[in-house]
Amino acid sequence: MNAVTDLIKTAEAVKRPALTDPVWLRRALTGIALGFILLFLCLPLAVVLIEAFAKGWATYWSALTQPDTLSAIRLTLLTALVTVPLNTLFGLCAAWAITRFQFPGKSLLLTLIDLPFSVSPVISGLIFVLIFGAQGWLGEWVSAHNIKVIYAVPGIILATLFITFPFVARELIPLMQEMGSQEEEAALSLGASSWQMFFQITLPNIKWALLYGVLLCNARAMGEFGAVSVVSGHIRGLTNTLPLHVEVSYNEYDFVGAFASASILAGLALLTLVLKTTLEWLQQQNRSPT
């Protein structure tokens, strides 16, 4: 008996230093992490705001209300407005197909969904130039039908669609896999139509994950630079989205203009973070209602 208690005591004695690090190490690690966050996350945000307001509120406002800036905002909103609903739909379809059906090539599809994440955005843009550009595969057909894709709004939308495709599907697939299809089968066996099943059973169960995916998709659609930059042609007032407008303004030494536009994107990012945290919290609540 004594031997056993001794053994437990030794085990505890051994465990304590292994689980808690010395004070100096804890402080150092916390310090490094905080310093890093301050330097690389908070400082740039502060610089954006300081620079944007460097010449006062009036200059900031007039920079934002310039026709070019307004048109960039409009184009960014348009792009998001088209791509987000489409990718929500595609994401739902892909997640449904992957989690509810058995078919050959399923794991290939699962890998392909991640392709936009693994390819450099510049390459993604280039793909569309190679397809629809003047010398591209479909270039002649497109120009023969008087459709402008590259250096025009359709190209920007296509490139953004490609880039933001994985967000919704990626959120939904693990959740729907975990849920299984029994509740859906139960709904069908009770006489529900496929639509009733989807809107009354599936959707309520996946809504938080879906909203989360849509939110991330939207943030990326509004913020995408690389792919859009390749296909847009940087035509002021026509094919400049907000991120491109920031670059163009900066290159033309219009610092207030650049930072004013950047402040909108930064605000969007902060808003996304707040919404994201809220959604995560709601999702947590939803999973453990008791």
Partner 1 sequence: MSIILSDISKNFGRFSALNHINLEIPEGELVALLGPSGCGKTTLLRIIAGLEQADSGRVLLSGEDKTEQHVSRRGIGFVFQHYALFRHMTVFDNVAFGLRVKPKKIRPSTGDIHRKVHALLELVQLDWLHDRFPDQLSGGQRQRVALARALAVEPSVLLLDEPFGALDASVRKDLRLWLRSLHYELNVTSIFVTHDQEEAMEVASRVVVLNHGCIEQQGAPSEIYDHPANAFVSKFIGQTNVLQFDQQEGLLLPNTPPDGKSAHVRPHDIVLAKASNDDNAHAVLRDWQHLGALIRIELEKISPYHSGLSIFVEMPNEQFKQLALKKGDKVTLQIQRAHWFH
Question: Given the complex with partner 1, which of 2 and 290 has the nearer CB atom?
Answer: 290
263 with 249: CB under 8 angstroms? no
Does residue 182 bind partner 1 (CB under 8 A)? yes
User: According to CB under 8 A, which one of 20, 65, 111, 193 is a site residue for partner 1?
Assistant: 193
Residue 284 as a binder of partner 1 (CB under 8 A): the answer is no
Neighbours of 241 (CB within 10 A): 28
- Among 115, 51, 43, smallest CA distance to 255 is for 51
Q: Which of 6, 183, 252, 280 binds partner 1 (CB under 8 A)?
A: 183
Asked whether the beta carbons of 68 and 245 are under 8 A apart, the reply is: yes
Taking the least distance from each CB to partner 1, the nearer of 184 and 254 is 184
Q: In the set 31, 35, 174, 204, which binds partner 1 (CB under 8 A)? A: 204
Q: Closest approach of Cβ 204 to partner 1, in Å?
A: 5
Place of tokens 């990718």: 87
Contacting residue, 201, 244, 258, 264, with partner 1 by CB under 8 A: 201
- Per DSSP, the three-state class of 238 is coil
The length of the chain in residues reads 290
Q: Applying CB under 8 A, which of residues 49, 64, 97, 192 lies at the interface with partner 1?
A: 192
Nearest distance from residue 240's CB to partner 1, in Å?
44
Which of 93, 190, 271, 273 forms a contact with partner 1 (CB under 8 A)? 190
CA–CA distance, 167 with 95 (Å, rounded to integer): 11
Q: Which is nearer to partner 1, 135 or 182 (CB)?
A: 182
| Tokens read off for 268 | 């969007």
Interface with partner 1: number of residues (CB under 8 A):
20
Q: Is 172 in the site for partner 1 (CB under 8 A)?
A: no
Tokens standing for residue 93: 């379809």
Tokens in use for 228?
Answer: 């859009």
Contact segment (CB under 8 A) with partner 1 among 15-23, 45-53, 182-190, 237-245 equals: 182-190
CA 59 to chain centre: 31
Residue 177 found at the interface with partner 1 (CB under 8 A): no
Tell me the angle at which helices 153-164 and 203-223 cross, rounded to the nearest 10 degrees: 130
Residue 185 in the binding site for partner 1 (CB under 8 A): yes
Q: Is 200 in the site for partner 1 (CB under 8 A)?
A: yes
| Residue whose C-alpha is closest to residue 156's, from 250, 246, 226 | 226
User: Pick from 188, 238, 269, 275: which binds partner 1 (CB under 8 A)?
Assistant: 188
Burial code (b: 16+ CB inside 10 Å, e: under 16) for 108-133 equals eeeeebeebeeeebeebbbbbbebbb
The binding site for partner 1 (CB under 8 A) comprises 182-183, 185-193, 196, 200-201, 204-205, 286, 288-290
